[in-house]
Structure 1
Amino acid sequence: MSERKSHLDGFAVGALLLCCLLWGLNQVAAKAALSEIGPLWQAGLRSLVAAALVALWAGWRGIKLFERDGSLRGGLLAGSLFGLEFACIFIGLQYTTASRMVVFIYLSPFVVALGMPFIAASERLRPRQMGGLLLAFGAVAWAFAEGFGQASTSSLQWLGDGLGLLSALLWGGTTLAIRGTRLSQAGAEKTLLYQLGISGLGLTAGALLAGEAAPLAWSLRLGGLFLFQAVVVSFASYLLWFWMIRHYPATKLASFTLATPLFGLLAGALLLGEPVTARLILALVALAAGVLLVNK
C-alpha cells in the first residue's frame, strides 16, 4: 500500500492494538531488566541493536538507506527528539513515581492533535473528536490517579514531573517532525534508522558521561528481556509504527497510543501480580469510547 488513508481501517486498528500491547509489555520488561543493567545503557544498547537489525533488514530487501533525498535535516531532528524523550523519562523516574510519569508522557496525543493542523489542514479535529480525545486521556489519568495520592518520595518531584511533561512534548514533536519534513516521504526503514541510530549513540554516550556501570555480565534472564525490547519492540513494532505514520492520519494514530499504559497495567497484573481494580476496568471502557469518538 502506497497511498495515504483518510481514516483507520481494520488493518490499522489491529496493528495499533498489537503495538500498544507490545509497548505495554515493554514497560514490564524494562522494569525487570533494571535490576541488572542501568537505564541509559539499556535504552542506548537496545536502540543500537535495533538499528543494526533495521540496516540488515533493508539490505536484505534491497532498500537503499543512504541515498540523498533531502531527509537528513528532518531525520537529525526526529532522532534527536526521540533520544531526548527517553533521556527525560529515565532521568525523571529518579525523582517522581512511574504512575505520575506515565500520565505526563501520554499528554503527547494532545501535542500531535494541536500541531497537525499546521502541517495538514485535513487532520483538524472536530469538536466531537476533541471530546473523544479528552475522554480517552481522562480514562488514562483516572486509571493512574492512585499514583497521585502517594506521598512524595523526593523534594525534587516537581523536576521529575516536569521532565515527564517535557518527554510528552518531545514524543509529540517527533511525530510532527516526521510528518512536517521531507522525512515524511522517506521509507519506514530509513525513518526508523534515524530514530534508533541517533538515539542509540546519544543515550550510550549519556550512560558513559553519567558513570553508569557497564553491563559486562549478562544472565539468560537479562538476555531474554533485552532481546524482546530490541528485536520485537524497538525493531519490529517501531518499524510498523513509522510505516503507519506515513500512510494514516497521525492525530488518530496518536490517540490509540493512550491504550499503552493500560495494557502495561494488565501486563503488570499478569506477570508481576499487580492488582486489577474496578477503576481499571471502567477506565478501559471509557478509553474505548474515547478512541471510538476520535475515529468515528
Structure 2
Amino acid sequence: MTAAAMMVGLTLSWGLNYVAAKVSYAGYDPVFVSIARSIIGGLCVLGWCRLRGIKLFEADGTLSAGIVVGVLFGVEFLFLYIGLEYTTVARNTLLVNTMPFWVLIGGHFLLGERINARKLGGLVLAFCGLLAVFSDGIFAGNDATLTGDLLSLGSGILWALTSIVIKRSKLVETSAEKLLLYQLAGAAVVGALVMPFA
C-alpha cells in the first residue's frame, strides 16, 4: 500500500512538473527555464554529493558517453519546454511518455532485446494510440498544435536514446549522482548555446 501511494505521489509530481513549466511561460522564456532548472538542479546534486562524500570527478572512462547523454538530455528538455508552448499539457505529457515505445524498438536493434509477439502487440496498440492523438491536430489543420506535438514526441524519442546510450556505455556502471550531473550540465550548456537564437 505504501509503495503504491509513493508511486501515485511520484507520478503526480511528474504531471504537475509539466503544468508548472507551462505556467512559468507567462513570465519566462522556455529556454531560460530549462537553463535555470539545470543549474539549480546541478548545484543541488553537487551539494548532496559533498554532504555524502560521493566522488564525482574521478576518471572512470565515462566522459565521452556522459557528454553524449548530456547533449541528448539538453535537447530533449528544449523540445519538451518549447513544445509546451504550442500544445496542451495533456498532449505533451502523453507524447513525451511514448519513451518506452521507442526504447522497445531501439532495444531490439541496438541492445539485442528481441521483440516477441506480446511486445509486438503492445507496440501496435501504442502506435494506434499515437495516431489517435495526432489525428485531431492534423485533420483540424492546427499547425501550432502539430508543431508542439512533434516537439513533444521528439522529446520522448530523445529520452529513449538517452536510455539506450546509458545501457550501451560505461555509464551503466557509474553512480546515479554522476549520471544526473552529466545530464544537468549538458542541458545547461545546450540551453546557453541556443538562448541567443530563441
| Interval of TM-score (by shorter of Structure 1 and Structure 2) | 0.7 to 0.9
Pair 28,99 (structure 1): closer, same or farther in 2 beyond 3 Å: closer
Q: Write the mapping of 1:113-262 to structure 2, written as runs, cut at 5 A.
A: 113-118=104-109, 120-121=111-112, 123-135=113-125, 152=142, 154=144, 159-207=147-195, 209-210=196-197
d(CA) in 1 for partners of 2:54 and 2:23? 36
Give ranges in structure 1 of 5+ residues lacking alignment. Answer: 1-9, 212-296
Deviation at 1:182, TM superposition (A): 0.8
* 1:51 corresponding residue in structure 2: 42
Task: Determine if contact 1:78/1:177 at 8 Å carries over to the other structure.
Answer: yes
Task: Determine if contact 1:103/1:141 at 8 Å carries over to the other structure.
Answer: no
Deviation at 1:35, TM superposition (A): 1.2
d(CA) in 1 for partners of 2:3 and 2:107? 19
Task: Determine if contact 1:58/1:64 at 8 Å carries over to the other structure.
Answer: yes
TM-score normalized by the length of structure 1: 0.56
d(CA) in 2 for partners of 1:49 and 1:146? 38
* 1:42 corresponding residue in structure 2: 33
Q: Which amino acid aligns with 1:75?
A: G
Q: Which amino acid aligns with 1:71?
A: T
Q: Which amino acid aligns with 2:41?
A: A
Pair 23,133 (structure 1): closer, same or farther in 2 beyond 3 Å: farther
Deviation at 1:130, TM superposition (A): 3.4
Deviation at 1:101, TM superposition (A): 4.3
d(CA) in 2 for partners of 1:112 and 1:136? 13
d(CA) in 2 for partners of 1:55 and 1:141? 42
The residue matched to 1:64 in structure 2 has which SS?
A: coil
The reply to whether residue 84 of structure 1 matches residue 72 of structure 2 is no
d(CA) in 2 for partners of 1:95 and 1:167? 14
Q: Which amino acid aligns with 1:192?
A: L
| 1:146-198 C-alpha deviation (Å, 9 max, x unpaired) | 666655154xx655444334323211111111111111110000000000111
Deviation at 1:16, TM superposition (A): 5.4
| 1:123-162 C-alpha deviation (Å, 9 max, x unpaired) | 43432133235445656775787666655154xx655444
TM-score normalized by the length of structure 2: 0.80
d(CA) in 2 for partners of 1:11 and 1:175? 28
The residue matched to 1:129 in structure 2 has which SS?
A: helix
Identity across aligned pairs (percent)? 37
Higher-helix-fraction structure: 2
d(CA) in 2 for partners of 1:120 and 1:28? 34
Deviation at 1:32, TM superposition (A): 1.5
Q: Write the mapping of 1:99-110 to structure 2, written as runs, cut at 5 A.
A: 100-110=91-101
d(CA) in 2 for partners of 1:13 and 1:124? 30
How many residues align structurally?
Answer: 198
Deviation at 1:22, TM superposition (A): 1.7
The reply to whether residue 73 of structure 1 matches residue 60 of structure 2 is no
